[in-house]
Amino acid sequence: MPATAALGILFSMAPVAENKASAGIGAVVDIGITVLGAVANTYEALGISPGDRDPGTHIDVYAENETYQAPSFKSGEFNISMYHTQGDLNFLKQVKVRYPNGRIETHQLKSGQQLKITEAGAIIDLNPNAANISEHDLLYITQAQLDEGKTGVVINQGQHAFVEKASGKNPRFLGPLYKKYSGDSFGDWTVIARNSDYLFDQIANKLSDEQKRLITLTSKPVSKDVLDNYVNN
């Protein structure tokens, strides 16, 4: 039986009462709107335009600080971050967790918050209101996963994705910033020919600390298999 199917049976048949979230079981942490509250505000802070591109809620490899906010990556933690791309602070996303002591909590995440899991054996349901078990999206958190502290989940109002700790500069933002600030007559060609480190070094002294933060990648989307491998191994 596939691991996700087994988890689904365990989760749906757990003979325990369900509770609203309470302190000490799972921590919902207000991490602030580090992406400025909305996609439009992010581009405004960078001083560039998305042009004809409407990112919507799509999550891809360069969507950090555009359509999702990276969770914290710390040893001993597994974090799930929530971000609304239009800055709606009234939007709530439900995440259900079955903790190792048998207690089930339903957490309500608002934009700018993250749910911190610190207990191995927790089972997370990212789609708790699904009509049938096959539509639930379940994760089992292992001790090895917590020890490494390099995976997490990102959510916006349209979808969720699985992420892993990463580093680097975001070419989606860096390219337009280079062409704006470098004075390079061949900016379009340079953006294609040169790597991100070179582009950043040429304009770093012209960027604010906020702009530098917004173009810095701390995560990358990965397939769910990357997280499931902790269970399979």
Query: What is the domain partition of the chain in residue ranges?
Result: 3-167+220-232, 171-212
Contacts by residues 179-188 (CB-CB < 8 Å, ≥ 24 positions apart): 180/47, 180/48, 181/206, 181/207
CA atoms within 13 A on the CB side of 27: 11
What's the DSSP call for residue 68? B
Using CB atoms within 10 A of its CB, is residue 106 exposed (0-12), middle (13-18) or buried (19+)? Answer: middle
| pLDDT band, residue 24 (cuts 50/70/90) | very low
Query: Is residue 55 pLDDT above 90, yes or no?
Result: no
Give the integer Cα–Cα distance in Å for 113 and 33. Answer: 8
What's the DSSP call for residue 169? B
- 114-164 tens-digit pLDDT: 999 999 999 999 999 888 888 899 999 999 999 999 999 999 999 999 999
- Nearest by Cα to 112 from 34, 220, 22, 165: 34
Element (H, E) at 231: helix 224-232
Give the integer Cα–Cα distance in Å for 142 and 94. Answer: 22
What Å distances lie between residue 139 and 153, 204, 219, CA to CA? 10, 40, 19
Mean pLDDT of the chain: 86
User: Rg for the chain (alpha carbons), in Å?
Assistant: 19
Query: Is residue 14 pLDDT above 70, yes or no?
Result: no
Give the mean model confidence (pLDDT) for residues 159-178.
96
- 193-226 tens-digit pLDDT: 999 999 999 999 999 999 999 999 999 999 999 9
Please give the pLDDT value at position 26. 58
Q: By the 8 A CB rule, do 35 and 85 touch?
A: no
Indicate the pTM of the whole model: 0.86
Q: Do strands 219-222 and 160-165 pair parallel, antiparallel, or not at all (unpaired)?
A: antiparallel
Give the integer Cα–Cα distance in Å for 188 and 3. Answer: 48
